[in-house]
Amino acid sequence: MSELIQTYSRRAFVAGATLLGTQLLTGCARPEEPSTPQTQPETSTTEPKANEAVTAELEETIASQATGTGAGVIPFDFDKKTVELNCGIEMPIIGLGCYSLTDQEAHDSVVAAMQTGMRLIDTAHIYGNEEGVGQGIIDSGVNRDELFLITKLYMDQYSQAADAIDEALEKLQLDYIDMLLLHHPSDDDVTAWKAMEEAVDEGKLRSIGLSNYYEEEYSDFVKQVEIPPALVQNEIHPQYQESDVIPFITKQGSVMQAWFPLGGRGYTEEMFALETLNDLAATYNKSVPQIILRWHLQRGVVAIPGSANADHIQENFDIFDFELTEQDMSDIANLETGDKHEWY
């Protein structure tokens, strides 16, 4: 623990200027100059210096995250089942991931998710199912303004991002996308982001974010852009918990989201057999996936489990009638193995 905090103390000092600057950019639109001069607040000699305060608060968050007992610094509204993004719009905190689903499977899964009450759908250009997702949204009968749709640009689209955004809108049959992510870091990711910023100005995108960015990549990236990321989507599950990444990124105003929240295809059988998770499932009369998903939410991490099974989709959404204790959260934290199930 001390080594973790020492590492982050150094990072917090370096990131202090970035953090304080980023907090000024809290909207999805470009910042505007104030119409009237603003009076600068007086500096108190008794208050800690900016980066000292940042470091102290970050260390405290890191300590609680590392043990699994602390929620993210961006609060979730469990009554509304949403979180407010740094641009002021609300996003559901549990949804459907469409990775590896065919067009038809994605269509049927979206319809099933809408029927359960889910309103968050995640897809991507590289998944090859944006058309199925879009048709599923239409066939679900749910009003467009009730749902939150995430899709992603892949690296081979970055150099022509404006055209790729229009292509995604056409495939999805939507007038706007709620959240567009860059799928991976790349040499031209900033170029793509600037096109995404323009699309925000044009009303094609409501918010923008990143996928598979960690401390170093995130810190380098935000120094080069105007609109800060509203979301960072990474691999997170009980055996790969990102207890260092989560507080670092959420402290700077970006919500964290877990892809592979249940460990990912090919790894769930082993994870679902873990004694700790089965004991908790028995205690709360819930399934192991429900325990894991509830753990994510209580850590301040949005979860998007994937499934083509309507019963499983319903089960994944039924996680708001119980709450894990701090001891439960700590017990799950002890399942960390550092095993990352994908290369990115």
Q: Which residues are catalytic?
A: 127
Cα-based angle 37, 43, 46 (whole degrees, multiple of 5): 160
287 to each of 50, 97, 306, 321, how far by Cα in Å?
45, 19, 16, 13
Name the nearest CA neighbour of 84 among 236, 225, 221, 207: 207
Asked whether the beta carbons of 38 and 216 are under 8 A apart, the reply is no
Rounded (5°) CA angle 335-336-341: 115
Task: Report d(CA 300, CA 127) in Å as an integer.
Answer: 26
User: In this structure, what token pair is assigned to residue 59?
Assistant: 């260390």
Separation of alpha carbons 27 and 88, rounded Å: 7
Provide the strand spans (E) within 199-332.
208-211, 231-235, 255-259, 301-303
Q: Residue with structure tokens 């499934």?
A: 307
